[in-house]
Amino acid sequence: MIEISTFDINKSNWKLIKLKDIAFEISDRLDNPNKSIYDKFVGLENFISGDIKINSWQSTKDLVSSAKVFQKGDVLFARRNVYLKRASLVNFDGCCSGDAFVLRENEKLIINGFLVFILNSDQLWDFATANAAGTMSKRVKWRDLKEYQFLLPDKPTQKKIYNLLNKFNELKENYNLIQNNLRNFLHSYINELFHTNKERIKISDCIIKTEDSSKVAEGLSPYIEIGDVDLFDKSLKIKNKKSVKGSLLVKKNSILVSTVRPSRGAIIKLSEDRIVSSAFAILQAHLKVVTSDFLFHCLAWNNSFLNFTSRFATGTTYPTITDEDIKKFKIPLLKISDQNIECKKLNEVYNQLKICKKSLNEIVLLNKKIIYNFFK
């Protein structure tokens, strides 16, 4: 465990400087990237907010528009929609979107790898957001961003800070790997379950009908919408919102499936009674036929179900599926005792996934606080 309390920093000798003193903007334009020596292209979709490294890219094979060249060790800063907080180091040569700054460290003033932590401080993001301009997608200009001021320590102190923050990043990467492996296991397990059990039953034949009396008045809270479902671990993010017309009071253990853009996989099993949007299909398990856990897992970790909903969804901007179409999907028909055996394994992994994600969130939050304290 990292001992934060013993890491004491004296800022009396830190110097007030501007971002332009430690970072150079590199604007090497590349025409026809598909004919260049570079095979990796980083678009804004390859950034993950808060990640200090770029871990994905696209091929330049079909890229015809111009791009910016970057080198291994540069930091890419997404200048569009800066509120998303995207600034990451690249460990390879390539080219990137024109909506990103390519920043290179001034090695005379900062150690290798230190710039990306400065760029991921809340203070810098606040400054960037305040200086972004535009209507639909606000962008910040380098002429403004480079004027950001902060206190910079000497190189020996930078090294101490870097080592600490890098430990946090390694810890974060390890937890990310663990939670991804756990989630992949759930998907693989359900896929195998469907593959080995050919006898199926429609959802409509293993649920009970929800009553109209479950409708509630407007203005009640907390109120759950489809955007409140975490797509990664199927958990709820409770927000201070009030119910609208058509909202429903749904019982504990019900399965909610988003009928709007259903292929995103906004699926959750309620751990208590909740007031929810009418944009959910509500599935209450007929407990003599299927357990709530089994029904949840069969839908939540099932790419076949998501593909099924895509085929039935209508509309372009917000594809929508009906409750009745969702109920046409078939799940394996198993005895309740067999379902319980399968769910015992699935729930053990799922609980570990939730614990891992909670720990990861705590690590990220603590890391942000430390960066904030260093550069405030």
- Determine the average pLDDT of the residues in 207-221: 82
Question: 102-157, pLDDT tens digit by residue?
Answer: 999 999 999 999 999 999 999 999 999 999 998 888 999 999 999 999 999 999 99
Segments of the chain assigned E as strands: 15-18, 23-25, 29-30, 40-42, 58-59, 67-70, 75-78, 87-89, 94-96, 100-105, 149-152, 200-202, 207-208, 223-224, 248-250, 255-258, 267-269, 274-276, 280-285, 330-332
Q: pTM to 2 decimals?
A: 0.84
Same fold, 15-154 and 198-333: yes
Q: Considering all CA atoms of the chain, what is the largest pairwise distance in Å, rounded to the nearest integer?
A: 73
Q: What is the pLDDT of residue 22?
A: 97
Which homologous superfamily is 15-154 in? DNA methylase specificity domains (3.90.220.20)
**Token reading at 70:** 């970057």
331 near 200, Cβ under 8 Å? yes
Q: What is the pLDDT of residue 211?
A: 64
Question: 87-112, pLDDT tens digit by residue?
Answer: 999 999 999 999 999 999 999 999 99
Using CA atoms, how far apart are residues 216 and 235, in angstroms rounded to an integer? 23
Question: 38-68, pLDDT tens digit by residue?
Answer: 999 999 999 999 899 999 999 999 898 999 9
- Determine the average pLDDT of the residues in 307-321: 94
**Token reading at 288:** 């003599």
User: What burial class does residue 78 get, using C-beta atoms within 10 Å of its C-beta: 0-12 exposed, 13-18 middle, 19+ buried?
Assistant: buried
Sequence ranges of the domains in the chain: 15-154, 198-333
- Determine the average pLDDT of the residues in 22-33: 95
CATH number of this structure's domain 198-333, picked from the four choices 3.30.465.10, 3.90.220.20, 3.40.190.10, 3.40.640.10: 3.90.220.20
Q: Is the pLDDT of residue 2 over 50?
A: no
Q: Is the pLDDT of residue 5 over 90?
A: no
